[in-house]
Structure 1
Amino acid sequence: MTFLDLPEGLAERIMQCNSTYTVRFGVRLRGRMYSFIGWRSVHSEHCEPVKGGIRYASNADGEEVEALAALMTLKCSLVDVPFGGSKGALKIDPREWTPQELERITRRFTQELNKRGLIGPGVNVPAPDIGTGEREMAWMMDEFRRANPTDVINARACVTGKPLSKGGIAGRTEATGRGVQFAIQSYLRDPRTAGLNGKRDLKGAAVIVQGFGNVGY
């Protein structure tokens, strides 16, 4: 921010999220009640809908969600995509639950988001992130449609990253990893950089991939 001629106080305002909602809900599973906590943060509504993924992770917290929402605004602005930034998370390890249990948890989470206007076409559109994928997006879309039966035409637009059979886009799953590929290519080819040890290609170079999710894969 020190490189920009901004009015006093504006930089601080830009860095802050407009709102962060914490939701706590219970789901009866395995003969008892389990409690879950989740977040949905909106950084900026200067452009709508606001856009950002929902991650399922046991180490998720509200501060991380706010930081990621702010990054979503900056990323969209950088490439001139007309979305505001948002982000969400559910504090859960998806590996500890069966698919049927995850579906019930996801649907309850969607109900909480819907009650607060934190999911919906043209308003706030989640997407897959760490621990979630097209399966979870299909559950969220279906639950949103159930809660809004008069919005059949637009209901599918409440999330992105859906399965192809539910109106998803081909190539969405591998899009992030492909973006990494394009970024590396651009870096190596840019005459303003020294490339990789002065090289303009990756011949003979070692590459380390951390993780084997959608991006690493």
Structure 2
Amino acid sequence: MQPSVEPSMLDVFNDNFDRAAQYLDAPEDLLESIRICHHMYSIQFPVRIKNKVRIFHAFRAEHSHHRLPTKGGIRYAPNVHLDEVAALAALMTLKCAIVDVPFGGAKGGIALDPRDYEADELERITRRYATELVRKNFIGPGVDVPAPDLGTGEREMAWIADTYNMLTPNSVDALACVTGKPITQGGIRGRREATGRGVQYVLQEFFRHPDLVKRAGLSGDLAGKRVVVQGLGNVGSHFARLIQDDGAVIVGIGERDGTITAPRGLCLGAVLAHRHETGSIRDYPGATTLERPADCLELDCDILVPAALENQITAHNASRIRAPLIVEAANSPTTSEADAILRQAGKIIIPDIFANAGGVTVSYFEWVKNLSHMRFGRMAKRVGIQTHQRMITGIEDLTGSVFPQTLRDDIVHGIDE
């Protein structure tokens, strides 16, 4: 008997697209033009690594140009391939449309494991990739604007922005060629935790709808809800920290090296400290360690948040998922077959194209900031401070009371980016 093969991300996207298309009164040729990925770029380039030339395989896909520029992350992972980035680009188009951000969808990646390379080697690889994108006009403030994804972060985005700036020296908007940059290099405050915070906001909104909460067999708000998080990367770690502040209880965490669970709750800060010291979440004091990373998906909990990789919930394990509410913080963590099984079982799924749209939303603000060459609030800040000072002084004169200094400072200075 041949072992079953899990569907690719592109297969899952096409299956879900076909299911959604059934609800639309649209011509078949129009639907097909929406489905297809317009531009796909496959690159092979050499980079010298430890006195040996290595060939790297990289990709960039632009799914839809109905709005420009296109927008999507760059991931570094060993199994990156063209179909995967095409599917992720299609998901980005839908994600941007749902949150009404004026971008088309795109995605890119390089087939490598960043843990296998030193920082200077990754810099050479990243800069060469950026150079190839510039050569083919697959990057630019008004063309295609990458961002961080799996295996990349602020550092890689800074390298790409610097490379683009060197290759287009007369471009005054060069910093807008990429988002997710460090604050000191054109970035924006809040971008790093934006995706995780977006997942938190989605959950908060869910619990404002009593009918949905009742359908999930839950009650009340987030406080006291048992949450399992798969993946402690940028998205999962920030989400877990924020959700703990809302009073939720993290009862399980899954990482690439296994799962830890504690019915009474895990302290995220202590778990992160343990991982920093030992290199693993395994054998965290007071928790039970399970061998498989996917074991966390089957734990007893109220809310399951897959925040790791695609195709984690499949037809093989969907029937064993016990959480009544699933929030897709990763890109396409549930296959179409598993989605049908879960819904048949009465589970509620908040899809990735809505749940993890916080990153592209804040990326839009960074892009606008780079194009305007002015940080948000700069023009109105001084006027606002003067207005608030006069208001506080007037209230104090009328009432004879004095505002506490901390409250005064909060009111006068307001919020930042």
Q: TM-score range by the shorter chain?
A: over 0.9
Give RMSD over aligned pairs. 1.1
Matched residue type, 1:158: C
For the pair 1:147 / 2:167, whether they are aligned, the reply is yes
Q: CA deviation at 1:81?
A: 1.1
Supply the distance in 2 between the matched residues of 1:92 and 1:138 (Cα, whole angstroms).
19
Report the counterpart of residue 175 of structure 1 in structure 2: 194
Alignment correspondent of 2:273: none
Which of 44, 53, 60 is the matching residue for 2:64? 44
TM-score by length of 1: 0.96
Partner of 1:138: 158
Q: Structure 1: any 5+ residue segments left out of the alignment?
A: none
Distance (Å, rounded) in 1 between the aligned partners of 2:108 and 2:187: 20
Q: 1:70 aligns with which of 75, 86, 90?
A: 90
The residue aligned with 1:23 is 43
Matched with 1:185 is 204
Contact 1:210-1:216 at 8 Å conserved across structures: yes
Unaligned runs of 5+ residues in structure 2 are 1-20, 238-417
Give the Å deviation of 1:12. 1.8
Q: Which of the numbers 165, 177, 180 marks the counterpart of 2:184?
A: 165
Q: Does 1:115 align with 2:135?
A: yes
CA distance in 2, matches of 1:116, 1:35: 19
Count of aligned positions:
216
What is the aligned partner in structure 1 of residue 29 from structure 2?
9
CA distance in 2, matches of 1:113, 1:134: 18
Greater fraction helix:
2
For 1:157-207, what per-residue CA distance to the aligned partner results, in whole angstroms no more than 9, with x for missing partners?
100000000010000000000000011111122133135523131333221
Does the Cα contact within 8 Å between 1:189 and 1:200 map onto a contact in 2? no
Contact residue 107 and residue 139 of structure 1 kept, 8 A: yes
Deviation string 1:13-49 (CA, Å, 9 cap, x unpaired) is 2111001100110001101101101110011111101
- Counterpart of 1:199 in structure 2 is 219
Partner of 2:230: 210
Q: Is the 8 A contact 1:41 1:88 kept in 2?
A: yes
- Identify the match of residue 126 of structure 2 among 70, 81, 106: 106
Say which one has the larger Rg: 2
Greater shift, 133-142 or 56-65, is seen at 56-65
CA distance in 2, matches of 1:106, 1:201: 44
In the superposition, the TM-score normalised over structure 2's length comes to 0.51
Structure 2 counterpart SS, 1:144: helix
Please identify runs of 4+ aligned residues in structure 1 that moved more than 6 A. Answer: none
Match of 1:82 among 102, 112, 126: 102
Moved more, 7-16 or 40-49: 7-16
Determine helix, strand or coil for the equivalent of 2:227: coil
* More moved, 98-107 vs 9-18: 9-18
Kindly provide the amino acid, as one letter, of the partner of residue 218 in structure 2.
Answer: G
